[in-house]
Structure 1
Amino acid sequence: MGSIKQDIKETYLGIYETAQEKWNDFTQFLAEAWPILAVLFLGLIAIWLYADPPPPRHVIMATGQPGGSYDVLGKKYAAFFEKKGITLELLPTKGAEENIAHLVDRKDPVQAAFVQAGAFNPHSVKGVQSLGTISYDPIWLFYRGPKVDTTNYMEVKARSHYFLSSRISVGEKGSGTHAQAMQILKVNGFEEGVNFLYLSGSKSVEALQKGEIDAAFIVDAYEAPNVQTLLKDPSLHLSAFPRAEAYSRLYPYMQILSVPTGGFSLERNFPSRDIKLMASTTNLLIDDRMHPALQFLFLEAAREINGKSTFFSSHGEFPSFKHTGLSESPVALHYEKNGSPLLMTYLPFWLAELVNRLIFVLLPFCALAYPVLLTLPGYRNKRMRRKIDQMYGVLKTYEQELTINFKPDTKDEYLKKLDLLEYQALQLKVSKSMSGDYYALRTSIDYVRNCLNRGVQPYQLQGDESSI
């Protein structure tokens, strides 16, 4: 039993001594190599702060008119971002024109916006990229009065002239509705009329239901409250687009949407036959300087919020990367091919982003630091060997002086010098690999001391001079 206790005790002592030895080596290493480690640490900080800065915790996004569908959609995005620890501030605007202006201005803090395709000239927009389209925005033309047979072109044209001479809302200037309405009217040969009213979506609905206007263009999602209000009003009619294919050829961003008979209301059998509608798409546009992590977060929000099945879109159809009108962000191109980064799928956003940044920073840092760290043991040995060599040099100087110019009355002075040199040697903290050099130095000091203590003339036997 006693032998077992002894073995355990010896094992414990061995582990303790080994740990203490490693710790001493480590502290000695830090004391000797701290300049190099400090340079490497500063390099890591520089890469961390400048090469890959963390994403901001506050983002401003331009939406649309208060109460509109973009405003509602923006609130859903804000709630999604809040769950990820990011504050998404929503900025209400009058529409697409103002949203684009915010993004183009390089000093403007707005970094993202909902903008209808076709509501801006892509050639005049700089510094803005697309994260894809996220929804359909059908072009609705509601009107009062007799129902028009959309298959009869002459009747449609006559009714159009009637609208142009009557009171018709074409959307607020600067909005996507106004841009789409003007394009449709102009391509049909109609110019802007004096009876045009530039009302917001909610005001157009109110005026149309009260009979204050005869027709109204509204470009908005099927689920939008304004659209639903007008679709449920049996006194109003909806104009279809039988020449939708022609519009899509003229404007590639235009999408053709099919509505089956009774699709809007089976009870009213509305519409009474299959019709086609034209639709723009909502672009998710960003400042091209936006942090990549935030771009991935916007794309994840689009997938979760806009990727659900709706009346006109199937599950997973959005975000889509077709007909965006602007160049896609490199992040969007990566997302289109590979989806979200693997870390974002399994980890919270802040942790996934932190790990991703660590990988981005540590890989090049390690590539730089690895060869440097490999040289540290050699650096330590060279530094220690230089100190030992310096002491050997001092010792050699003493020895030469004692050999050539020895004076008996200086013996005690040289002994003190040798004691001081030995004390300096004792202060050296050397690794085990250099123990031989360390003890060789102390032996050499002791050898010179012994020579000095031999007699009157060091390094010579008594009577040497007489024999010569």
Structure 2
Amino acid sequence: MWEAIKAFLRSWGLVILATAIGLFVAFRFVSPAPPDTLRLAVSTDPQSAYTQTVAAYARALEQEHFKVERVPTQGSVDNLRLLREGRVDLALVQGGVPSRDNAAGLVTMGQVFFEPAWVFIRNQPEGARPVQALRGKRVAVGPEGSGTRVLALALLEANGLRADAIEPVPLAGNEAAEALAAGTIEAAIFVSAVPTDAINRLIRTEGVNLLNFGSRAEAYAANLPYLHPVRLPNAALSLAEDLPRGDVTMMAPAASLLARKDLNPQVAALMMRILRDTHRQRTLFSPEGRFPNGQNNEVPLQEDAQRFYEKGPSFLQSYLPFWVAVAVDRLWVLIIPLVTLLLPLARFAPSIYTWQMERQLYRVYHKVRQVDEESKAGLSMRTIAKLDALEKEASELKLPDSYADRIYGLRRHIAWLRRRKEEPA
């Protein structure tokens, strides 16, 4: 067995070595391997849909043996800054926040869910226009750096109320709900894909109403193109309490997963599979299959994401474990140059094998010829010793069975030389 292995290595060793060197050189020029650590921006609010979504992403990535680093942020504006600075690799960003100026060098993996604006206003006099009645009033618009503040100010400005026309209060969550219930502010705006404790509290608070955008929804969408009308069905928050009482039309931006342009393509392909598995189900505001999608993006769509939306997941990542698919995909581009290298080398392999085998025979034959030349005057003790040594060397040659006749032929020639030199002249 060992002799067969050595024979194989003698003939194909050069081919294997040349192939390994070619792979090493070419591998340096294919797409880089995915990093072993990914940094995700995560909200500090445990009830946030962003927090829950990032947790789902992290679990999926950890199952593929990535180390996930969670970087706490204050919201979408902060997320964009961290992406631009290269401090995170992936971040959820609210629609309407990215712009040509603040999203340069970034790409999107697509929209992943709607997050409506929940606008709660204290009761207004009959016939009053609720938003216009907020002029000069205190309104909770969320903290600096949050997507809530960006959307709240945009909605107010669309109604002619600039930031200086109201008194913006940087409250969010339960603090904003408590202030509105206590009457210390006139309105509170939340942006959330799911009802939070603050929203559930206010929907049950006497004297506070959830704004129904109703017939003005299309006008909002025309003025703020990143907004989509969505419907909160009657009793969707509580069948037992019939909350809300009647359908409510809300305006919702779509959250998108953003990344830097230099995101590793293998990671991008994996993230698309994770997005599909995480977001394709039905939600309160979208039917099954609505997300993820590559529509109406405010920043360019990442190349692998675009390919996913057009053709679906790649064959390799559909049927192979991630890291196996990565290795195969990276090596795939090497097939043509490798075949070009291997074909001529393979043609020489049999000749190399034959040369390796016959070289051992020729080495002994060369010594036999030298002994023949040295012993023209007849055998001496030195010559006999050399012939004995050659006989032993010939018998110990390690060659495949296919060369047995050549070995025995060599030994016969040595014996013939011995007899010829022993015969009297």
TM-score (norm 2): 0.80
Alpha-carbon shift at residue 116 of structure 1 (Å): 0.8
Contact 2:98 2:299 in 1 (8 A): no
Q: How many residues align?
A: 417
Larger relative helix fraction: 1
Contact 1:75 1:90 in 2 (8 A): no
Q: Secondary structure at the match of 1:131?
A: strand
The CA deviation string for residues 288-333 of structure 1, in whole angstroms up to 9 with x for no partner, is 5555554455444433443222221011211122123233334323
**1:275-354 alignment runs, 5 A limit:** 276-291=249-264, 294-340=267-313, 352-354=321-323
Amino acid at match of 1:441: L
1:235 to 185, 207, 216: 207
**1:366-385 alignment runs, 5 A limit:** 367=339, 371=343, 372=345, 375-385=348-358
In structure 2, what is the equivalent of residue 29 of structure 1?
8
Residue identity (%):
25
Tell me whether 334-343 or 202-211 shows the greater mean CA deviation: 334-343
In structure 1, what is the equivalent of residue 109 of structure 2?
131
Alpha-carbon shift at residue 42 of structure 1 (Å): 6.7
1:63 to 42, 65, 70: 42
Alignment pair present for 1:200 and 2:179? no
Whole-angstrom CA distance in 2 between matches of 1:161 and 1:183: 14
Whole-angstrom CA distance in 1 between matches of 2:347 and 2:205: 79
Amino acid at match of 2:179: A
2:76 to 96, 99, 115: 96
TM-score (norm 1): 0.74
Alignment pair present for 1:183 and 2:139? no
In structure 2, what is the equivalent of residue 8 of structure 1?
none
Amino acid at match of 1:64: S
Alpha-carbon shift at residue 121 of structure 1 (Å): 1.8
Contact 1:248 1:256 in 2 (8 A): yes
Tell me whether 255-264 or 361-370 shows the greater mean CA deviation: 361-370
Contact 2:94 2:147 in 1 (8 A): yes
The CA deviation string for residues 215-246 of structure 1, in whole angstroms up to 9 with x for no partner, is 12222114333333333334212334344334
Q: 1:443 to 1:172 in 2, by over 3 A?
A: same
Alpha-carbon shift at residue 45 of structure 1 (Å): 7.3
Whole-angstrom CA distance in 1 between matches of 2:306 and 2:373: 78
Alpha-carbon shift at residue 59 of structure 1 (Å): 3.3
Amino acid at match of 2:168: F
Whole-angstrom CA distance in 2 between matches of 1:198 and 1:330: 38
Whole-angstrom CA distance in 2 between matches of 1:232 and 1:305: 31
Alpha-carbon shift at residue 438 of structure 1 (Å): 3.5
The CA deviation string for residues 175-233 of structure 1, in whole angstroms up to 9 with x for no partner, is 11112223334444443227212223332222212211111222211433333333333
Alpha-carbon shift at residue 119 of structure 1 (Å): 0.9
Q: 1:143 to 1:424 in 2, by over 3 A?
A: same
Higher relative contact order (CA 8 A, sep 6+): 2
CA RMSD after TM alignment: 3.8
Larger Rg: 1
